Structure formats: C-alpha cells, structure tokens
Amino acid sequence: MTTNTAFALGLITSALQMIFVMLSWILTTYLGRRTIYLWGSGFNTLLLVALGVAASVPVTKGTAAATAASLAQASLGLIISVLFTLGPAPASWVIIGETSAIRLRPLTTGMGRASYYIIEIPCIFLGSYMLNPTVGLFSLRVLR
Amino acid sequence: MMRRVVELEKSVNEPSHLELFKGTDLYRTLIVCGVYLAQNLTGNLIANQAVYFFEREFSSSLF
C-alpha cells in the first residue's frame, strides 16, 4: 500500500465516522441515551473480544489462515471505530453534559476530563507497545 | 434554559470541589468520570489504527 492509499483509507475512516455521527442523530429520535449507550457498549465489547480472538489464534506466517486472521483484525478495527461513533460516543457526551448538577457542572466535567487524561497516559503506552512489531509486550499475540 | 443557568450562577454561592464528593453529587461525579474513562478503556486507541492493520497486510501488493 502506498502512502497515498493509506492516507486515503484514514480519510475514508474519518468520513465514515462523520456519517455515522449524523446517523446517530436519527437514532436518538427513536431510542433513549441509556439504551443506546448500554447496547452500543455491549455490542462493541463483543466485537473487541472477537478482534482479540482473531489476533490470538495460532497461525503460521504466510498461509491463507494468517491473511484471514490479519484481515479480520483490520476489518473489525474499522467496524469498531465506526460503530463507536454511531452509538456510545455521542451518547457518552450527552451523559457527561446532563448528569451533573447545574451548579457543579463545570467542576464535575473538569474532574471527569482530568480522570480521562490520567487514564489515557497508560493507555497510550499500552497501545504503542501493542502496535509496535519490534518491541513487543503483546507482539507475539497481536502482531505476527 | 441558558438564561436560567446564567441567573442561577449569579444568585448561588460559589461551589467548592469538596461538594463533588458528597451525597448525590458523588454519584454524579462517579458517573461522569466512568463515562469519560470508558471512552479510553474501550480500546479506541487500537481500533482507530485499522489503517495500520491493513497496511501491514498488504505491504505493497494489493493497492
């Protein structure tokens, strides 16, 4: 894949995410935020487990099975990131905005954002280790 | 709604951070923190790297 194709695929992912956020506006007229958030998160968890299974099956490099497992990981990654923008992502912003008491809203939201950044630091480290093919905590599993 | 919030902000006394951890507001704080944390913990940092997985599979042949 050339750099241009990779860049285009990244843009396509973002475009799909934008379209699915717009579809979520339609979805909110039919379902409540609680329903969307819980079912969306549950379904995404299921797909993430499927991605993990696809990354964990032992296959020998270069075979058709290895290609299939790799493609499954790639497609599931795309589907998960797009489906996340349809359900849980917009619903989570609604929950964040509406849960706190009006008087304490800035403080509560600030506290939530702070906890988000605190947990993001280890997540970034783990993510880099998972994706790096040479230095690998999980390299044998996630990357072959 | 916006007008009411602005008026309310003028009339009530200054909120303190300690109030976030008392009574019902503790639950509200926990829910907001949990929802924020879930955004990270649902693996979006990995799932958003789908292009990288495709790139790895078709290093130059297919595209």
Say which of B17, B37, B57 has its CB closest to residue A115. Answer: B37
- What's the pLDDT at B62? 47
Q: Which span out of A21-25, A105-109, B35-39, B55-59 was modeled with the highest average pLDDT? A: A21-25
Q: In this complex, do B17 and A96 lie within 8 Å of one another by their Cβ atoms? A: no
Chain A contact present for B14, CB below 8 A? no
B19-23 long-range CB contacts below 8 Å, 24 or more apart?
B19/A104, B19/A107, B20/A104, B20/A107, B20/A108, B20/A111
Which residue has better confidence, A111 or B51? A111
Q: What is the pLDDT along chain A (144 residues), one digit of tens a residue?
A: 667 777 788 888 889 999 999 999 999 999 988 899 999 999 998 998 898 888 777 777 777 787 788 778 888 888 888 999 998 889 999 999 888 888 888 889 999 999 999 998 988 888 777 776 666 555 444 444
Chain A contact present for B26, CB below 8 A? no
Q: In this complex, do B37 and A78 lie within 8 Å of one another by their Cβ atoms? A: no
Residues of B in contact with A138 (CB under 8 A): none
Q: Would the pLDDT of B24 be above 90?
A: no
- In A, residues 102-141, which contact B (CB 8 Å cutoff)? 102-104, 107-109, 111-113, 115-116, 119-120, 123-124, 127, 130-131, 133
List the domain boundaries for chain B. 17-63
- What's the pLDDT at A133? 64
CA pair distance A127, A56, nearest whole angstrom: 17
pTM, 2 dp: 0.76
Query: Number of CB pairs < 8 Å for A and B?
Result: 135
Q: CA angle, corner A121, sides to A79 and B47, nearest 5?
A: 10
A125, A138, B1, B23 from A144: Cα distances, Å: 20, 10, 55, 50
